Chain A
Amino acid sequence: MENKKRIKTIETRDLANSMKNGGCGECQTSCQSACKTSCGVANQQCENKKK
């Protein structure tokens, strides 16, 4: 966590940067896990070993 006076910025993946090193497609298909009815993508694991 990066400390400032009134604002703490949490460590997150840089999405803009992932334009360069993302898109390998090896990750799980969203609906293939537990839900089958109301899935999103945010809780999927990234499986790109080269990122």
Chain B
Amino acid sequence: MIHQYKLNGYNIVLDVYSNSIHVVDDVAYDIISMYNNKNKSQEEIIEKILTDYPNLTMDEVLDCISEIKHLENENKLFSEDQYKDIPLHKKSAKNVVKALCLHVAHTCNLNCEYCFASQGNYKGKRALMTYEVGKQALDFLIHNSGTRRNLEVDFFGGEPLMNLDVCKKLVKYARNIEEQYDKHFRFTLTTNGMLIDDEVIEFANEQMDNVVLSLDGRKDVHDRLRKDIRGNGSYDVIVPKFKKLINNRTKGTYYLRGTFTHFNTDFTNDILHMADLGFTQLSMEPVVCPPEDPYALTKEDLPIILEQYEILAKEMLKREKHGNGFTFYHYMIDLAHGPCIYKRMSGCGSGTEYLAVTPWGELFPCHQFVSDPKYSMGDVWKGITNIPLQDEFSMCNAYARKECKDCWAKLYCSGGCAANAYHASGSILSTYEYGCELFKKRMECAIMLQIAKQEI
């Protein structure tokens, strides 16, 4: 399977199963397209090309065809699917857990309208995780991680800094036991920033491998939906705190992470605003909410959003050339050393290697299922007890969804987000088509950007 597209002056051909990427001229682009459609003989292709490009000679066309056939023989073009029978879609990932999303606080000091966690409490009781529950969660992770050395724990909420002392004690506990079990914990803190102070900055920059800081971009955009309990926007409180934290950060990564909605479909301006504030590791996600919400993305928004991704890629390239580039999470793609085929097939790992833990120690497939009792999987004391559900999630991968069968992007997204699919269609083994369209455009832009950067 191949995918061809033109973007920012580049003609790009992706060969899906070999992972080859070719940048071609117009003649090669058209010939590859005709070969792919399989409705013309070689003679008809030559005739069509000579008609469309009257300055070309027959020898030049034959040379181009020869180049294409050479790539085909090397399995770099029109390559066959060698992976569909790899039995990883059964239960191979089962019983190995390597990442936990620890919901240390089901409460929040902001009242963001679009919050999928319903202002932090996930449509349930407000609660803080105790140290004992968190410690048991870390023990559960250690004892269920098999031979995996790198273990990931995200302090999540609600607002995790409302339970800072427990976060600090849990990190201390983890550091004390990791050598004994030959494990390495990587911690992430996802915060709205309201409670960041010098103590938090020291803790985050010393112990967190990654810090995710929520900022939606321009002040008016941010303050429209990210308000405190009294209805005041939070931008002016958090931006100086984020700057101080980042200015003191000497190791690990961070992301300024925004959410865009129907109200700011020109979200590139929000990303650029973050960059102009001096932040360089940026992320911006489409809102997750029911379609009837006023800020939900609409069908009419889709072409605007797709165009925004292109505008963003071009602007990033421009800034890169001028020495003030920044990274955008979805455009980070390492073409030469990216993930192996197993990673590309095996999906996000929700419900198998990745689990969310509530303040009470209950396990869910991921943070986005936490409000739904149907998706309760067990707890940190007894482990996973809902085996049929675990089996269902272990089937979520690039080859599990019929909608993905002929999609060129399936080995880039691995079938997409189970929660998004569930909310859009009622099944974790379906797809969220709107999200697919956004994802595909992001991948096209990401690949173009990498190609263009090689020319800088």
Nearest CB to that of A16 among chain B residues?
A: B82
**Which residues in window 1-50 of A have CB below 8 A to B?**
1, 4-16, 18-19, 21-23, 25-48
Determine the chain B residues whose CB is within 8 A of the CB of A33 once the complex forms: 188, 210, 255, 329
CA gap between A18 and B439 in the complex, in Å: 24
Bound: A18/B454 CA distance, A: 24
Q: CB of B314 within 8 A of chain A?
A: no
Closest to A15 in B: B19
Docked-complex contact B212 and A34, CB < 8 angstroms? yes
Whether a CB of chain A sits under 8 angstroms from the CB of B99 is yes
Please tell me if the beta carbons of B340 and A48 are within 8 angstroms of each other in the complex.
yes
**B414→A46 contact, CB < 8 A:** no
Instruction: Report the count of interface residues on A (CB-CB < 8 A).
Output: 44
Q: Are B338 and A34 interface neighbours, CB within 8 A?
A: no
Known contacts A22-B343, A41-B339; is-contact A15 B411 (Cβ 8 Å): yes
Interface residues of B in 322-381 (CB under 8 A from A): 329-344, 346-350, 353-354, 366-368
Q: What residues of B have a CB within 8 angstroms of the CB of A30 in the complex?
A: 347-349, 414
B368 surroundings in chain A (CB, below 8 A): 36-37
Interface of A is mostly: loop
Question: A28's closest neighbor in chain B, by CB?
Answer: B152
How many Å from the CB of B98 to the closest CB on chain A? 6
Residues in A with CB closer than 8 Å to B412 are: 40-42
Q: Which A residue's beta carbon lies closest to that of B416?
A: A40
CB distance from B35 to the nearest CB of A (A): 13
Interface residues of B in 149-202 (CB under 8 A from A): 149-150, 152, 154, 186, 188, 190
CB-CB < 8 A to A12: which residues of B?
A: 19-21, 335-336, 338
Instruction: Name the distance in Å between A40's Cβ and chain B's nearest Cβ.
Output: 4
| Contact A44 B343, beta carbon cutoff 8 Å | yes
The 10 closest A-B pairs by CB, nearest first: A22-B340, A18-B340, A23-B342, A34-B255, A29-B99, A42-B412, A34-B283, A40-B413, A15-B19, A6-B28
Given A18-B341, A21-B340, A44-B338, 8 additional A-B pairs, CB 8 A? A7-B22, A12-B336, A40-B439, A41-B344, A42-B413, A43-B330, A43-B331, A44-B343
- Using a CB–CB cutoff of 8 Å, the interface residues on chain B facing chain A are 17-25, 27-28, 63-64, 67-68, 71, 75-76, 79, 82-83, 86, 96, 98-99, 101, 116, 148-150, 152, 154, 186, 188, 190, 210, 212, 255, 257, 259, 283, 285-286, 288, 329-344, 346-350, 353-354, 366-368, 411-414, 416-417, 419-420, 435, 438-439, 443, 446, 450-451, 454
Q: List 6 A-B contacts (CB under 8 A).
A: A7-B23, A10-B451, A15-B341, A22-B339, A34-B329, A46-B334
